[in-house]
A and B are shown apart, each in its own frame.
Chain A
């Protein structure tokens, strides 16, 4: 009886590991897509609306969803509460905090970080350039992530269960 419970627990935890890894692969392209959308919103606010950054960040936060909305909220929070902070610093600090619970890879985070360094500190033409560059990079990363997801989600799901079974068989 004890053996059966043990075997089930091994199987269960291995499947969960597999599912979690697969979820990472599945969520990354979605998140990158939301990011792209958020920057698109930001562009609308900055380039066409010439809205002050704090207000623009708030708007983006309202119109984005999930984790991305939380990030923009965080930047805005730092910007409005820490005296003497610049937008680039607020962005970097928020990203440092936010990245722990995101499915993005370091290379994705780098795109976001690089964009943050230029935020708010140039005229519209220049901001537009930076925004477009970041959007292109995010789109490329998103396509790559989608392709990887297609290849990896199913194998990882199975790998977890099968790996669990293998361990159970060996141990029995």
Chain B
């Protein structure tokens, strides 16, 4: 099964692909820009591995790049040329690899548009500490999508009209289900305020440890995260939350991917200060996260007043349920649509 370039409406190449294309070696860019629109619309990742086929990952599908178009058969796909890989690496780093030491240590960087590029290679150690990376073997461009308004129907569930503040909210989701996308949209909605649900805008501070929520590039958030949002970029969560509490006087603190005990302790401290927390955690459902001893005690205490569980049954961002602190479902089988 193959899909040639130019089938369907390739003219409507989305700006997203143009954005990504800029960062690829010219040969790859041309191919990517010739992709059929259906593919572009659902593109999630572009994976380059040296001397292996170039993989494009969609919501439910995986394709490999060929000279003429796409194929699903790895045997038919040509291998990525080293030259194209190195070129891409250089373009991504503005031919200034030496200026990206911190990023190399973390193995990813953020490019304009808020997209995330992760890389793999040979890790350099210095007295047991990771100093950087060289001899790169592969990279993965993960597309950040700006999904405005997808949390619209969710807002009344997480907003406490009696106190005029959102509830402490936790989004539970397996990887690649759109939890960061949802978190970002919630941040924007709360920051801007929502007239439909009569929610006023509020000051929000984001601890963006992995630069994923705001996708900051040189100090400027690349994603729309709202007019009343401050971003503490690349800062460890625990320190970051406490720093923001003191420095920015937020009404809500947003952070991504909590999991360690220290994270929950910091959140507790934030909660004592009367500031609300919206965060995400890796997990498949409520039972899954409760099974983790570190997390369980905080959930038992009712630290989080609202818990949103996501899955991927109908594409990224399917809401499985919304629960209160006691674990009771608030949706009662009603479907809450996002996206």
Please list the residues of chain A having a beta carbon within 8 angstroms of any beta carbon in chain B: 46-47, 50-54, 56, 79, 83-84, 86-88, 90, 119-124, 126-127
Q: Determine whether B29 belongs to the interface, using a CB cutoff of 8 Å to chain A.
A: yes
List B95-115 residues whose CB lies under 8 Å from chain A: 95-99, 101, 104
Interchain CB contact (< 8 A) of A126 among B25, B29, B94, B134: B134
- Nearest-CB distance from A169 to chain B (Å)? 60
User: What would be 27 A-B contacts, judged by CB atoms less than 8 Å apart?
Assistant: A46-B98, A52-B94, A53-B99, A54-B95, A54-B96, A56-B96, A83-B22, A84-B25, A84-B26, A84-B29, A84-B87, A86-B87, A87-B95, A88-B95, A90-B95, A119-B95, A120-B93, A120-B95, A120-B97, A121-B95, A121-B97, A122-B97, A123-B98, A123-B124, A123-B132, A126-B98, A127-B98
Which chain B residues (183-210) contact chain A, with CB distance < 8 Å?
none
Q: How many whole Å from B32's CB to the nearest CB in chain A? A: 13
B residues in contact with A90, CB < 8 Å: 95
Given A83-B26, A84-B26, A84-B87, check contact A124 B94 (CB 8 Å).
Answer: no
Complex interface: chain B residues within 8 A of A47 (CB):
98
Flag if A123 contacts B101 (CB, 8 Å).
yes
Known: A50-B101, A79-B95. 17 other contacts (CB 8 A): A51-B96, A52-B94, A52-B99, A53-B95, A86-B87, A86-B90, A87-B95, A88-B95, A90-B95, A120-B94, A120-B97, A121-B95, A122-B97, A123-B104, A123-B132, A124-B98, A124-B101
Across the interface, do B98 and A87 meet the contact criterion of CB distance under 8 Å? Answer: no
Known A-B contacts A50-B99, A50-B101; A84 and B91 likewise in contact (beta carbons under 8 Å): yes
- Which residues of B are at the interface with A, using a C-beta cutoff of 8 A? 22, 25-26, 29, 86-87, 89-91, 93-99, 101, 104, 124, 132, 134
Taken together as a complex, chains A and B put the C-alpha atoms of A119 and B97 apart, in Å, by 9
Contacts of B124 in A (CB 8 A): 123
Cβ contact within 8 Å between B104 and A121 = no
The answer to whether A120 touches B134 (Cβ under 8 A) is no
B104–A53 CB distance below 8 A: no
Nearest chain B CB to A48 CB, angstrom units = 11
Q: How far is the CB of B178 from chain A (nearest CB, A)?
A: 32
Q: Tell me the bound Cα distance from A47 to B99 in angstroms.
A: 9
| A120 adjacent to B90 (CB under 8 Å) | yes
Chain A residues whose CB sits within 8 angstroms of the CB of B89 once the complex forms: 121
Q: How far is the CA of A87 from the CA of B101 in the complex (A)?
A: 18
Cβ contact within 8 Å between B101 and A120: no
A122 adjacent to B26 (CB under 8 Å): no
- Collect the chain B residues with CB atoms within 8 Å of residue A54's CB: 94-96
Q: How far is the CA of A54 from the CA of B29 in the complex (A)?
A: 22
CA distance A79 to B26 in the complex (A): 14
- The reply to whether A123 and B134 contact each other, CB–CB distance below 8 Å, is yes
